[in-house]
Structure 1
Amino acid sequence: MSKRPFDANRRPGSGYQNQHHKRPKHDTRPRHSSRDSLTNDYRPPPPSINYKEAIDKLPSPTSTLSHIPAYTPFTVPAGLPPLPEILDPALGAAPFRHKSTTGHYSRSASTQTSSDVTYEKLEFLGDAQLEHIASRLLYTRFSHLTAGQQSQLRELLVKNETLAEYARAYGFEKQVQVGDLDGMIADTQAKPGNKGFNKVLGDVFEAYIAAVILSGGDEGFAIVEKWMLGLWAPKLLEAAGKDRTLIPLLQHSADDKNDSGPLAVYNPTAKAELQRLILGGKGVKLDYEPWQKSVELKGDMLGQNRHFIAVFLTGYGHEKLLLGKGEGRNKVEAGNWAAQDAMCGERKDLVEKCARELAAVKQRKKEEKEAEAAAGN
C-alpha cells in the first residue's frame, strides 16, 4: 500500500479525509464545531408561537379559586375539631354525590355530560389542596427532616386510610350517595381493610375540603388548614413515638423524663463528635457494623426499612469493645444513634476516660513542640 509522500508545506490536519469534507467556497452556512453541539443544545421555540393567543384559546374559568393567605398560627380545640361548613348551598351535597346518582351517568361515556358537581370533580381539586397543606405543615414544623423524609411523612397524612378514618369520625359514610353503595360495601367488606370503600371515603373527604375552600372565599384555605392541623397533630405525635428522628421539634414538658435528654433527641453529628473525642491515638479505631438484619416496616410505616448498627472500639487496651447500639431508617441514622448511645449510655464513663487520655496525649505533644521551639531559639 503506497503512502502519501511527505509534504513540509502541508498544514496539520489537512489529510485526505479532511480534504474530502472540505467546505466549498460558495457554502456560506455558519460553522458549528462539536463543542457547539454540546453547549448549545437548547433551541428557542419558533417565533410563530403566540403565547397570548394560546392562553386566549383555553377554556374560560368556570369558578374562581380563593386567595391563599400567608401562614398564620392557629388555635385548635382539645376535642375533635369542628367540621367546617360549606357556605355555598350549590356545593353542600356535592362532596357526597357520585356521578352515578345524577341521572345523566353513562359508564361508557368518555366525558361527563351533566352539569352537576360531584365528588369526583371536587376530589381532583381537594387532593392537590390537601397535599399542599400537608407540605406547608411539614416544611414549617419539621424542617430538620430531609425532603425524602418529609415526603414519607406527608404520605402518612394524605393516604386513603387516614382520610377514611377522618371521614368516619364525622359520619361521612352515612351521607355518601353512590348508585350501588350497598353492593360496593358488600363486595369490599371481605377484603383486608375494606379498601374499596376506604377509597370512596378518602375521595369524599378530599371533595369536602375543596368545597369548603371554594365556598369560603379568601378565608377558605386558612379555615381548612386550621382544621387539618388539629386532625393531623395526633397522627404526627403517634409517628414520632415510632421514630425518634421526628422528636426534636416536638414540645416536651419539664417533667417528661422519658422523652427528653440526649438519648431522646436525634443528633445528626453524633458519629463525628465521637470520632473527635477518642480517635487520634495509635491503633485506635471505631467500627460501625450491623448487630441485626434490617427489616421492612408495616402498617403506617409500610415501604420503609429499619436498620440496626452497633459501634465497636479497638484501642485503649480494648479489642472491638461494644460501645453502643442504634437503629434508624438508614445506616447513617442508625450509626448516629449508636454513637449517641456510646457517649450518653452505659459506656459513657469509658468514652469520657478515653477522651481524657487522648486529650492528655495531645497536650503532652503540644508542650514538647513548644519546648523544642524554645530550645531552638
Structure 2
Amino acid sequence: MREILIRNTTLAGFFRQYDMPSRARLPADFGQSRALGRGRSSDKDLLKTQGDMFEAFVAAVIVSDPRNGLSRAVSWLKALWGRTIKEQIVENERLSAKTQPPGVKAAYVAPGDSDLNAKDKLRATIGAKGIAIRYEDMPGDNKDRDLGLPLYTVGVYLDGWGETNKLLGRGTALKKKEAGHKAAAAALENKKLIRAYEAKKQAFHEAAKAADEAAEQLLR
C-alpha cells in the first residue's frame, strides 16, 4: 500500500492534476507537455522529475508556514491519497476477515480462497499437461481517471478441453501483472464455465488412469 502512495506514477499524477507542468521551468526539449505513452524509457525520466517536483512543492507548503504548514500538508495529502487507494481500501475491508498468507497481495487473491492467488488457482483448477492458459495484452487506450496514466488490459485465454483461443476473462490495471491477476479472478468468477472445464479435466484423468491400469494388466 505504501508503495502505491509514494511511487513516481502517483506523485506525477498529482503534479499534473494541479496543472503544475504549465508552471514548471524545464528545458524546452524535456517534453513535459507531451502525453505519456506505454513502454517509452523517457517516460520514466519524466515521471521521476514530476514526482520529485511534487515532493518539493509539498516540502515548500510545510516550511512556508512553520506553525500550520505540516498539518495542512498532512490533511491535503490524506485527501489525495484517499482517492488514490479507495479501491484497495474497499478490497481490504472485504477481505478483512481472511488471513492472508505471506507474499500474496489481497487484490490478487482468488475468489473464495485465502491461500492461492488468482493465476495459481485458475491453473490448479483447469490446467493439465497439454492445456495452455495464456495471458495476452488486449487493445485499448483507457487511462486511469485519477492519475491520467495508461491502463493495461490483459485477457486470459484457454487452448485445450475442446477450446482454441477461448477468452476466459479480462482485467485492467496500471500494471500488466496486476491486470493478469484480475483477468484470472474474472475467469474464476464464471463458475458455470469453470465447472465445465473441471469436469473435462476429471474425465481426462480418470481415462488416463484407466488406460494405465489396463496397460499394467497386459504387462503381467
- The interval holding the TM-score normalised by the smaller chain is 0.5 to 0.7
Shift of 1:306: 0.7
- TM-superposed deviation, 1:152: 3.5
> 1:359 corresponds to which residue?
202
Residue 161 to residue 359, structure 1, CA distance change in 2 (3 Å): same
Which has a greater percent of helix?
2
Structure 2 Cα separation of the partners of residues 195 and 354 of structure 1: 57
Shift of residue 326, structure 1, vs aligned partner? 1.0
How far off is 1:352 after superposition?
Answer: 1.9
Match among 97, 101, 107 for residue 266 of structure 1: 107
Report the Cα distance in structure 1 between the residues aligned to 2:205 and 2:71, rounded to whole angstroms. Answer: 56
SS in 2 for 1:312: strand
Offset of residue 291 of structure 1: 2.7
Instruction: Give distance in 1, aligned partners of 2:4 and 2:163.
Output: 39
1:175-202 C-alpha deviation (Å, 9 max, x unpaired): xxxxxxxxxxxxxxxx889747xx9985
Name the structure 1 match of 2:61.
Answer: 205
AA in 1 matched with 2:127: L
Q: Please give the alpha-carbon distance, in whole angstroms, between the structure 2 residues aligned to 1:225 and 1:373.
A: 77
TM-fit CA distance, 1:337: 1.2
CA 1:149–1:279: 2 relative to 1, 3 Å: farther
Cα 1:312–1:151 change in 2 (3 A) is: same
- TM-score under structure 1 length normalisation: 0.35
The answer to whether structure 1 residue 151 and structure 2 residue 1 are counterparts is no
For the structure 1 residues 317 and 156, does the alpha-carbon distance in structure 2 shift closer, same or farther, using more than 3 Å as the test?
A: same
For residues 253 and 288 of structure 1, the distance between their equivalents in structure 2, rounded to whole angstroms, comes to 26
The alignment status of 1:301 with 2:147, answered yes or no, reads yes
Question: For residues 202 and 226 of structure 1, what CA distance do their matches in structure 2 show?
Answer: 10
Structure 2 length as normaliser, TM-score?
0.55
| Cα RMSD after superposing both structures | 4.6
Deviation string, structure 1 residues 69-92 (Cα, Å, up to 9, x no partner): xxxxxxxxxxxxxxxxxxxxxxxx
How far apart are the structure 2 equivalents of 1:234 and 1:285?
Answer: 44
Greater C-alpha Rg: 1
TM-aligned CA deviation for residue 333 of structure 1: 1.8
Q: What is the aligned partner in structure 1 of residue 79 from structure 2?
A: 234
User: What SS does the corresponding residue of 2:108 show, helix, strand or coil?
Assistant: coil
- Structure 2 residue runs without a partner (length 5+): 25-53, 97-105, 110-116
- Taking a change above 3 Å as real, the CA distance of residues 291 and 374 of structure 1, as seen in their structure-2 partners, is same
Q: Summarize the Cα distance change of 1:248–1:233 in structure 2 as closer, same or farther, 3 Å threshold.
A: farther
Aligned-partner residue type, residue 270 of structure 1: A
- The residue number in structure 2 matching 1:290 is 137
SS at match of 2:128: coil
For residues 195 and 61 of structure 2, what CA distance do their matches in structure 1 show? 55
User: Please, which runs of 5 or more residues in structure 1 have no aligned partner?
Assistant: 1-141, 165-190, 214-223, 255-264
Q: Percent identity between the aligned chains?
A: 16
Match of 1:333, SS? Answer: helix
2:128 to 280, 292, 298: 280
Q: C-alpha offsets along residues 236-259 of structure 1, whole Å, 9 cap, x if unaligned?
A: 332234xx566543x3599xxxxx
Counterpart for residue 173 of structure 2: 328
1:216 aligned residue: none
Q: Secondary structure at the match of 2:139?
A: strand
| 1:1-377 alignment, distance < 5 Å | 142=1, 147=3, 150-152=6-8, 155=11, 195=23, 202=58, 204-207=60-63, 211-212=66-67, 228=74, 231-241=76-86, 244=87, 247-249=90-92, 251=93, 266-267=107-108, 269-280=117-128, 282=130, 284-295=131-142, 297=144, 300-302=146-148, 304-344=149-189, 347-366=190-209, 369=212
